[in-house]
Structure 1
Amino acid sequence: MQGRVSLSVGCITLFLMGTDLFVVSPLLPFISKAYHVNPAMAGWMVTVFAVTYAFSAPFFGWLSDKKGRRAFITFGLLLFTISNALTAFAPSFLWLIISRILAGLSVASITPLIYAVIGDIAPPDRRGTWLSIVVSGHLTALWAGAPFGTLLEHFLGWRSVFVVMAIIGAILAVVNFKTWKSIPIGDTTTKRLEGNILRILGSVSVTTLWAISMYALYVYLGAALYSENRFSSSEIALAVTFYGVGAVLGSLSSGQLTDKFGEREISKTTLIFLTLSLICLGVFFSSADWIYFFLFIWALVGYAGFTSYQARLAVEYPRERGIVMAWNNTALYIGITIGSMIGGYVISIWGYSLLPYVCSIAAIASFVLSTKKVEKPKNNRLFQ
């Protein structure tokens, strides 16, 4: 029962974090109008959030390995409540940007630590399944949380979205504080980041390349579908739904496969299939009859790979789990940023049709890097 409660709390918490991340983009037109700024300027809300998250997540991961995870998760949710309330009622665009910086800081102290704490408490033979469940909570926000927020904006205005998230954040702060109370502090305070930091960065760079293979195309998916297939807005929404459902199912299914066949084997196998699915997506991208299917398959194998690699990192770095999960999330955001830049460059020169093939190259590179085994350090100690 305690395991079910922990998984439910972790899943719901990450769903809220994912909603906060994914809901901003569809709200940008309304926000830019409210503060009399152009959409490009309003886009800084997303940029400052991502940059703050990327730089602060490793710091919180390191502290949680030394001091325990419960306090930092609770702190993050309280800050999340404050930041979203400030976003809802920001008196100026400057304060709006400040609120998103605080939001990035709060999510950085929540998301990777939820992954880490689930890795801490999960039974060794069920770690993959447990991690896949909480990852699916984050991914569900892609096709459920963001559309719900957009619907809420239609009836009550965009500010209501952030008010609701602030209220839920406050409730979850109490729930998380009580949920992780049973975890002995001694399990985390004795942990130290041992060994060469470069080996950890090498491991999480697999995630950076994976993110490039997913987001160099996904960022421009709507525009690509309109350009290549003349999709309407409803057809684009349906395509994104197929992608989102595939992502959730991929995450959930990979957990059981990982527990059965091993983290390393599944993470490598899914990267091979990710490469193949991207090539097929490129071949059939202009075919309206097949595009939904291959978008589903792409997300299915892609996020199965992400979840299995999270489980692999949890196993290969048991003593540094908090900071490794944090660095892995930073690597994810770096990959998203680089992927969007690469995608923009590709479409400006060659057009949208080449994007799936460029993504497949990143997937191959991610697979090659993932085949390298983690070598244990000798006697180096950092951040002690």
Structure 2
Amino acid sequence: MTNKNQLAGILLVVIGIMVTCNIYSLIPLYPAISTEFNILKQDVALGSTLFTLFYACGLLVFGPLSDIFGRKQMITFGLAISAVTTYFVSLAFNPISLYFFRSLQGFTLASFAPVAFSYTFDIYTDKSRTLWIALINAGFLAAGIIGQLFSAWIVLTWNWSTTYILFSTIYFVLFLSALIILPKTKQSLQHETLKKRLHGLIKALINPVLFPLYFIVITVLFSFVAFYEAFSYQSAEADNQLFWIRTIGISGVVLSIFTGKLIARFTAIMTLKLGITLIWWSIFFLLFLDSVYSIGFLSIIFVGGVSLLIPTIIHFIGEKSGHLRGKAIALYSFILLIGASLGSAIASIFSYKVVLTVILVCYIINYVLSRFVIQKRK
């Protein structure tokens, strides 16, 4: 692997972290924005829900566009326009403007993820590609905590709008870096009609082998977002506790790096069940333990379970989707983000304990699916 390709890989990981941070960046800002706009924190949360909905829609748009215009071109264009839309969020002056600018931001930031994975296939060999995909995935997961920590620190130090001014600046610097560092690749020039693409997505969704996997997919970021948002509502006044729990939880992301080795040694189905079990037990104990230290420890296990599930599910979908692989992975990304939107909505409606109960029920179903449906169809 050349030094330029190594530098490109590092840049892709950094971009992935910074882009994904904004899925979660609004969560610690709920109290400050609700006070400024004189609305409930749950009303502010609609900004997170709309962001993830439009992000999910963008995932289905930018992947095919990169086939036509080129991977590097789409990544750099996406970063440039995202710098602008992110700055717009800092200018929000009422709930409606916040919802509109966050929706716009979510759509433009979706220009990275689907293109990045295709880009790794263009510039890396099989061996190095696996490593960079694992690192990009680990970055996506770490961003779930980093995004919250970053905006929590900014709002405590300055104000909520500064968060998006800084993110906008970061995206502009990354845009310049991508222009210089990322190597150009040949564009595919393949183009599918909208009807043909939708037909392929529906075919992947109703595939009896893939459908139970997609049910698990929708619960992954659903549980992640719902847990942290519901906990932030319950502990809105305890900023130090929230910051500590978010910080310690990030260590669970390390498990994602070892997913490939676990799959090779214990099989994919065992790794899938391990991830589900870690989440199930951590949520079960969270229902009964309220001390900061126990929640912090259990959050590591919870994040670890999520970190195992995401790359394992990608492995399963890639293995079982055959000629539908490209559309199946695109659908996976879309469903994952729909789950995040639902998690934000559920957390804004129900109490912390009710949210934990819903997550627990989801993962009991997930275990049944993995044990009696997915395992049987190996």
What's the TM-score, normalizing by structure 2?
A: 0.80
Q: 1:343 to 1:109 in 2, by over 3 A?
A: same
2:40 maps to which residue? 38
Q: C-alpha separation between the residues in 2 aligned to 1:355 and 1:36?
A: 30
Deviations 1:232-267 (A, max 9, x none): 654454443343220x21222224545x559xx33x
Partner SS state of residue 101, structure 1: helix
- Deviation for aligned residue 1:183: 1.9
Partner SS state of residue 182, structure 1: coil
Q: C-alpha separation between the residues in 1 aligned to 2:218 and 2:105?
A: 22
Aligned: 1:276 with 2:277: yes
Aligned: 1:295 with 2:299: yes
Q: C-alpha separation between the residues in 2 aligned to 1:178 and 1:35?
A: 41
Q: 1:43 to 1:356 in 2, by over 3 A?
A: closer
Contact 1:207 1:366 in 2 (8 A): no
Contact 2:271 2:308 in 1 (8 A): yes
Q: C-alpha separation between the residues in 2 aligned to 1:117 and 1:137?
A: 16
1:361 maps to which residue? 364
- Deviation for aligned residue 1:122: 3.4
Matched residue type, 1:189:
L
Matched residue type, 1:301:
G
Q: C-alpha separation between the residues in 2 aligned to 1:97 and 1:196?
A: 32
Partner SS state of residue 186, structure 2: coil
Q: C-alpha separation between the residues in 1 aligned to 2:340 and 2:328?
A: 18
Aligned: 1:250 with 2:244: no
Deviations 1:116-169 (A, max 9, x none): 322443322344322110122222223333212221222222221111111111
Matched residue type, 1:304:
L
Q: 1:169 to 1:224 in 2, by over 3 A?
A: closer
Matched residue type, 1:250:
L
Partner SS state of residue 183, structure 2: helix
Contact 1:77 1:170 in 2 (8 A): yes
Matched residue type, 2:112:
I
Contact 1:216 1:343 in 2 (8 A): no
Matched residue type, 2:309:
G
* % identical equivalent positions: 19
Which of residues 231, 236, 241 in structure 1 aligns to 2:247? 241
Q: 1:49 to 1:279 in 2, by over 3 A?
A: closer
2:189 maps to which residue? 189
Instruction: Provide the aligned length of Structure 1 versus Structure 2.
Output: 364
1:215 maps to which residue? 222
Single out whichever of 27-36 and 52-61 deviates more from structure 2: 27-36
Aligned: 1:68 with 2:70: yes
Partner SS state of residue 82, structure 1: helix
Contact 2:62 2:111 in 1 (8 A): yes
Contact 1:209 1:335 in 2 (8 A): no
Contact 1:62 1:323 in 2 (8 A): no
Partner SS state of residue 189, structure 1: coil
Equivalence map 1:100-179=2 (5 Å): 100-179=102-181
Single out whichever of 144-153 and 356-365 deviates more from structure 2: 356-365
What's the TM-score, normalizing by structure 1?
A: 0.79
Aligned: 1:305 with 2:306: no
Q: 1:301 to 1:32 in 2, by over 3 A?
A: closer
Equivalence map 1:22-61=2 (5 Å): 22-61=24-63
Deviations 1:259-294 (A, max 9, x none): x559xx33x222211332244335533245755444
Contact 2:42 2:348 in 1 (8 A): no
- Deviation for aligned residue 1:196: 4.0
Q: Indicate the RMSD between aligned Cα atoms, in angstroms.
A: 3.7
Q: 1:242 to 1:92 in 2, by over 3 A?
A: closer
Matched residue type, 2:337:
Y
Which of residues 336, 341, 347 in structure 2 aligns to 1:332? 336
- Unmatched 5+ residue regions in structure 1? 375-384
Q: C-alpha separation between the residues in 2 aligned to 1:252 and 1:36?
A: 43
2:91 maps to which residue? 89
Contact 1:88 1:159 in 2 (8 A): yes
Contact 1:242 1:292 in 2 (8 A): yes
Q: 1:370 to 1:220 in 2, by over 3 A?
A: same
- Unmatched 5+ residue regions in structure 2? none
Contact 1:347 1:355 in 2 (8 A): no
Contact 1:212 1:362 in 2 (8 A): no
Q: C-alpha separation between the residues in 2 aligned to 1:182 and 1:27?
A: 38
Single out whichever of 20-29 and 147-156 deviates more from structure 2: 147-156
Q: C-alpha separation between the residues in 2 aligned to 1:217 and 1:145?
A: 13
Contact 1:115 1:131 in 2 (8 A): yes
1:377 maps to which residue? none
Aligned: 1:206 with 2:213: yes
Contact 1:113 1:322 in 2 (8 A): no
Q: C-alpha separation between the residues in 2 aligned to 1:204 and 1:66?
A: 30
Q: 1:311 to 1:184 in 2, by over 3 A?
A: farther
Deviations 1:203-252 (A, max 9, x none): 4762452341563475145756998x9x9654454443343220x21222
